[in-house]
A = this chain, B = another copy of it.
């Protein structure tokens, strides 16, 4: 009965991604969409925070990454890229969706 957490804002602008990370349970997943994908960049100050997260998988929306010039090799290790179809699958695979707006 896990939760899919969506985060759509940069962790460098807003607190929402940090708050989402602080409220995941084992088995949950975080999906970065829109400006949220900026948090997935390797070498950024927020990367450490993501690395500390255990028990939750992290996904980033591919079309949003591409828009922002981010390639798979730019991402923190362990972040998985999905498309809109994968986004739908994630909502099905988890019992509920919590949007951290």
Contact = CB atoms under 8 A, between A and B. Distances in A.
Contacts of A12: 15
This chain: copies in complex: 2
Across chains A and B, which 5 residue pairs bring their CB atoms closest together, nearest first? A14-B14, A13-B15, A13-B14, A12-B15, A14-B15
Interface of A: 12-15
Nearest to A15: B13
A9 B12 CA distance: 15
Contacts of A15: 12-14
A23 to B, nearest CB: 16
5 contacts: A12-B15, A13-B14, A13-B15, A14-B14, A14-B15
Contacts of A13: 14-15
